[in-house]
């Protein structure tokens, strides 16, 4: 049995990193405009944050201008949605244009890359002040699964450098892909699950949900690893493509799909997924819940 696992939100709770990122991002955006515009920019950004959460299906993480996940799917997504809102509005709103142009000029980066840089800075600050913070219950569940012979592969958008630091902080044995070792999980960072196919679109409709599943880099990893189960906390990034494979590829018929419904999981999405994707197991008790289900299956065999 091989389990492909996401990292942030499965082995951690991202609330603090996301909170630090919010502060850094808003301050940097406001600082990038002329002093005479800063009060107005502050109000514009606050209003935009309310808008993206009120209409999360319109905003989110949008690399290249196409939605890869929705604004309300995890604590980080709201920040990407804010940048997407600025980009969309900048064509017709002079203040949004000033915010965008100021941030890009000050950083020398695109607005999207500017946001990515501040995400990494937020992670750095959290590590420096609090240290890496793995969820104890997830670490325990991970050990239980590995001891039972389950092969865990960490397929994460985070880089192997972060994954290495955080797993090392709790003494969890791990190796970088493609290397493997007995009793160790394998790290496949920089998975780019968010990267959409530039040449085509493929949509998955689950009731009111409309999710892009043409994700060639993630699909290549999924097909290479051929897992028995997949777990993640952001449905659009982690679970939607495996669900498409489960529905269309006989080799994926028996793959189990676990969506961790953390305290930030959108209720609107859960309703649609429970109604239109019975193949997906909604897990309220985190990675320990996944471990309990997988270990029970091993015992039954």
pLDDT computed for residue 297 by the predictor: 78
pLDDT computed for residue 300 by the predictor: 63
Q: In what order do the strands lie in the sheet with 2-5?
A: 174-176, 185-188, 151-155, 2-5, 229-232, 256-260, 280-283
CA distances (Å), 252 to each of 2, 198, 223, 290, in order?
13, 25, 9, 18
Compute the radius of gyration of the chain from its Cα atoms.
20
pLDDT computed for residue 218 by the predictor: 98
Cβ 205 vs Cβ 235: under 8 Å = no
Cβ 281 vs Cβ 131: under 8 Å = no
Stretch 10-24: mean pLDDT: 96
20: its two tokens? 């630090």
pLDDT tens string 34-90: 999 999 999 999 999 999 999 999 999 999 899 999 999 999 999 999 999 999 999
* Residue 242 binned pLDDT confidence (cut-offs 50, 70, 90): very high
* Residue 288 binned pLDDT confidence (cut-offs 50, 70, 90): very high
Give the least confident one: 52-61, 184-193, 289-298. Answer: 289-298
pLDDT at 198 over 90: yes
DSSP 30-52: HHTS-GGGHHHHHHHHHHHHHHH
Percent of all residues in the chain with a pLDDT value above 70, rounded to a whole number: 99
pLDDT tens string 127-140: 999 989 899 999 99
Listed in sequence order, the residues at least 6 apart from 23 whose beta carbon sits closer than 8 Å to its beta carbon are none
Count of CB atoms within 10 A of residue 120's CB? 13
User: 3-state class of 55 per DSSP?
Assistant: coil
Question: How far, rounded to the nearest angstrom, does the alpha carbon of residue 85 sit from its chain's CA centroid?
Answer: 19
The distance in angstroms from the start CA to the end CA of the chain is 12
List of domains in the chain: 2-13+133-300 (3.40.50.1000), 15-129 (no CATH)
pLDDT computed for residue 203 by the predictor: 97
Q: Is the dihedral of CA 153, 116, 15, 97 positive or negative?
A: negative
If you average pLDDT over every residue of the chain, what do you get? 97
CA–CA distance, 193 with 45 (Å, rounded to integer): 28
Percent of all residues in the chain with a pLDDT value above 90, rounded to a whole number: 97
Exposed, middle or buried: residue 154 (CB in 10 Å: 0-12, 13-18, 19+)? buried
DSSP 146-214: HHTT-EEEEE-SS-HHHHHHHHHHTT--EEETT---TT-EEEE----TTPPPSS---EEEETTEEEE--
Q: Which helix (H) or strand (E) holds 263?
A: none
In the chain, the largest separation of any two C-alpha atoms, in whole Å, equals 69
Question: Which residues make beta-bridge pairs with 259?
Answer: 232, 282
pLDDT computed for residue 278 by the predictor: 98
| Residue of 300 and 232 predicted with greater confidence | 232
pLDDT computed for residue 298 by the predictor: 77
Cβ 270 vs Cβ 261: under 8 Å = yes
Stretch 95-113: mean pLDDT: 97
* Residue 299 binned pLDDT confidence (cut-offs 50, 70, 90): low
């Amino acid at each position: 049995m091989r389990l492909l696992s996401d990292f942030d939100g499965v082995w951690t709770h991202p609330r603090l990193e996301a909170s630090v990122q919010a502060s850094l991002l808003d301050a940097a955006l406001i600082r990038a405009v002329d002093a005479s515009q800063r009060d107005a920019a502050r109000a514009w950004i606050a209003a935009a944050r309310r808008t993206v959460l009120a209409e999360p299906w319109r905003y989110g993480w949008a690399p290249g201008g196409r939605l890869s996940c929705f604004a309300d799917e995890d604590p980080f997504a709201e920040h990407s949605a804010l940048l997407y809102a600025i980009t969309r509005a900048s064509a017709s709103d002079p203040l949004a244009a000033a915010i965008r142009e100021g941030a890009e000029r000050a950083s020398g980066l695109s607005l999207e890359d500017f946001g990515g840089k501040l995400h990494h800075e937020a992670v750095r600050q959290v590590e420096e002040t609090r240290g890496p913070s793995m969820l104890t219950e997830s670490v325990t569940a991970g050990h239980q699964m590995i001891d039972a012979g389950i092969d865990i592969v960490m397929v994460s958008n985070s880089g192997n450098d972060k994954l290495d630091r955080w797993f090392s902080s709790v003494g969890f044995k791990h190796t970088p892909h493609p290397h493997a070792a007995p009793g160790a999980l394998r790290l496949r960072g920089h998975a780019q699950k968010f990267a959409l196919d530039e040449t085509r679109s493929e949509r998955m409709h689950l009731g009111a949900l409309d999710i892009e599943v043409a994700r060639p880099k993630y699909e290549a990893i999924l097909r290479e690893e051929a897992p028995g189960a997949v777990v993640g906390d952001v449905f659009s990034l982690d679970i939607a493509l495996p669900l498409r494979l489960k529905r269309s590829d006989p080799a994926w018929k028996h793959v189990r799909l676990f969506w961790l419904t953390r305290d930030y999981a959108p209720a609107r999405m859960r309703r649609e997924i429970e109604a239109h994707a019975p193949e997906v197991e909604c897990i309220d008790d985190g990675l320990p819940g996944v471990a309990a289900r997988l270990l029970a299956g091993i015992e039954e065999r």
